[in-house]
Amino acid sequence: MTPPYRLDMRGIRKSYDTTLVLRDVDLNAKVGEIHALVGENGAGKSTLIKILAGAVLRDAGTIAIDGQAAELSTPLDARRAGIRVVYQEFSLVPHLSITENVLLGQLPGSWHGRWVDWREAERRAQEALEALDFKLPPTKTLVRNLPVSQRQMIEIAKALVDRPKILVLDEPSAVLSAPDLERLFAVLRRLRDEGTTVVYVSHRLDEVFEIADRITVLKDGALVATVLAADIDQPGLVRMMVGRQLRDRHHPSTGIVPDVALAARGLGRPGVFEGVSFELRAGEIVGLFGLVGSGRTEVARAIFGADRLQIGELTLEGLPFHPRSPADALRAGIAMVSEDRVRDGLVLFQSVRDNVSLASFRAMGRWGLISRRLQDILVRRVVADVGVRGAALQDPVRRLSGGNQQKVVLAKWLLHGARVLILDEPTRGVDVGAKAEIYRIVARLASEGMAVLLISSELPEILEMADRTLVMRYGRIVGAFDRADATEERLLAAAAGVALGEVA
């Protein structure tokens, strides 16, 4: 008799010290099903996935694969059981090639691994990449030279090499362009039709309804329900996830024209972007929208001094500004929250206190000595201000949910006293509840006079938050829209280079 479920997790319980993070959770998924797992950050999704991956040991409960009990004590156990997990945070080795990353730990060779059959390795890697319609020269390209979106595709290709029974994807679309996402969905549907079970974790509910057959909702470490996607709508799913509807998230415009905080004139880096000009005023949120590869992040990094600005001029509050490094930008009052908070914004094994203090140690003591008392007072105040929850100041940041980690990054720049804030995909990998809280924080900062440049791939986010929106395409600004004129159709048409009449 065929078992009813490919994956059957029952009564899963997990505690960290005295904190119960999973409360007798059930998750079951059928053969040939795409099963979405949703919930706010801190709901327990990541812990449940890590238990399935063998990376975290459960305290109680059972796991069965195809009706057979599975003891997943290590990641190797999970791999042998046919489970592969693509985590939100990359596990690639930057200085190795695409081929070496795709086949990490299983490069073909002979004589007890003393040499590698590079021709066979390239063939296997290319096969996995072609399944995603993703073409690069695998043996020649180092992962460190690739943009984030392409690294995500390599992570997925790495998982597909083993032809897993159960494929788990944690926020796979967070850095993908619309065409890449469509290719990924086509691959997932094909895998489903071939009998693979896909567990799809995402905060983007439109994706969930597009791709999922069934949906499991977690809240506060407990199972809320498992429902057919066809039997619920987005508002109903949001109510199940957060217990409320989200309203009033946008940043209201005051109608006052304040002073220019940052002005860019003809900014350029040959081959990357050119002729970029705009003004950012105090108390204003300016959206910067464009498809992946349009040059948005590169412009932001140049303003922040992370990349060299070769052409053009910047003025900060009317004075010439020539950033040679991020340190120059920070001294001038410019801060940047990058799209990869783990790599660029946090030290995961350090405490909340020390992460928030990273840019402000000089203000916390004298002669190179830090006053722990003063540090605690300052950090506690700003952490409360942004609403970091579920952690003490001494707790390592790695224990926090994605939304709370992002709040720690924001707290760091608030404590530093930034006057211009650049946000690059600030709600990537953040659930709907934490996303609304981040929106309110950013709106409040703008209302208090901070100038905000908001880079986002999410059109609803841009439309709700931005007073004005600039659209980039192929390294140039191709459109500028006031709040009243900005619509999803207009922004997307400008970003794609399509006449609005052709977008139907």
Question: What are the tens digits of pLDDT across the range 227-244?
Answer: 999 999 887 887 787 664
Q: Is residue 497 part of a domain?
A: yes
Closest residue by Cα to residue 48 from 27, 67, 75: 27
- The band of 393, judged by pLDDT with boundaries at 50, 70 and 90, is confident
Tell me the two tokens of residue 256.
């006052």
Q: Is residue 59 part of a domain?
A: no
pLDDT at 414: 82
32 vs 10: CA distance, rounded Å: 20
Is the per-residue pLDDT at 181 higher than 90? no
35 vs 48: CA distance, rounded Å: 14
Q: Is residue 323 part of a domain?
A: yes
Burial class of residue 183, CB neighbours in 10 A (0-12, 13-18, 19+): middle
- The band of 503, judged by pLDDT with boundaries at 50, 70 and 90, is very low
Host domain of residue 329: 258-333+453-504
215 vs 256: CA distance, rounded Å: 46
Higher pLDDT, 122 or 504: 122
Give the model confidence (pLDDT) of 45-97 as tens digits: 889 999 999 999 999 999 999 999 999 999 999 999 999 999 877 888 888 98
pLDDT at 242: 64
- Residue 398's SS3 state is helix
Across 65-79, 272-286, 416-430, least confident range:
416-430
Is the per-residue pLDDT at 330 higher than 80? yes
Tell me the two tokens of residue 58.
């459960």
Give the β-pairing of 68-69 and 60-65. Answer: antiparallel
pLDDT at 244: 47
Q: Is residue 158 part of a domain?
A: no
Give the model confidence (pLDDT) of 300-312 as tens digits: 999 999 998 889 9
Tokens 């999410």, residue located: 458
357 vs 340: CA distance, rounded Å: 19
275 vs 312: CA distance, rounded Å: 8
Percent of residues, the chain, with pLDDT higher than 90: 38
pLDDT at 110: 62
Q: Averaged over 424-453, what is the pLDDT?
A: 85
Q: Averaged over 445-449, what is the pLDDT?
A: 89
- The band of 471, judged by pLDDT with boundaries at 50, 70 and 90, is very high
Average pLDDT along the chain: 85
Q: Is residue 22 part of a domain?
A: no
pLDDT at 502: 43
Q: Is residue 163 part of a domain?
A: no
Closest residue by Cα to residue 154 from 191, 208, 175: 175
pLDDT at 457: 81
Q: pTM, whole model, 2 decimals?
A: 0.58
CATH number, domain containing residue 289: 3.40.50.300
Whether the Cβ atoms of residue 11 and residue 48 lie closer than 8 Å to each other: no
- The band of 248, judged by pLDDT with boundaries at 50, 70 and 90, is very low
Whether the Cβ atoms of residue 393 and residue 351 lie closer than 8 Å to each other: yes
pLDDT at 399: 80
Give whichever of 139-148, 170-179, 305-314 has the largest mean pLDDT. Answer: 305-314
Whether the Cβ atoms of residue 46 and residue 40 lie closer than 8 Å to each other: no
Q: Is residue 273 part of a domain?
A: yes
Is the per-residue pLDDT at 172 higher than 60? yes
pLDDT at 30: 95
43 vs 221: CA distance, rounded Å: 5
- Residue 283's SS3 state is coil
Please give the tally of structural domains in the chain. 1
Q: Is residue 464 part of a domain?
A: yes
pLDDT at 111: 59
**Residue-level length of the chain:** 504
Q: Averaged over 426-433, what is the pLDDT?
A: 77
The separation between the first and the last C-alpha atoms of the chain, rounded to the nearest angstrom, is: 49
Give whichever of 27-36, 200-209, 325-334 has the largest mean pLDDT. Answer: 27-36
- The band of 390, judged by pLDDT with boundaries at 50, 70 and 90, is low
139 vs 428: CA distance, rounded Å: 30
Whether the Cβ atoms of residue 138 and residue 65 lie closer than 8 Å to each other: no
pLDDT at 246: 45
Give whichever of 166-175, 278-287, 361-370, 484-493 has the largest mean pLDDT. Answer: 278-287
CA distances 313 to 279, 297, 319, Å, are 12, 18, 11
If you compute the radius of gyration of the chain from its CA atoms, what whole number of angstroms results? 24
pLDDT at 504: 37
pLDDT at 249: 44
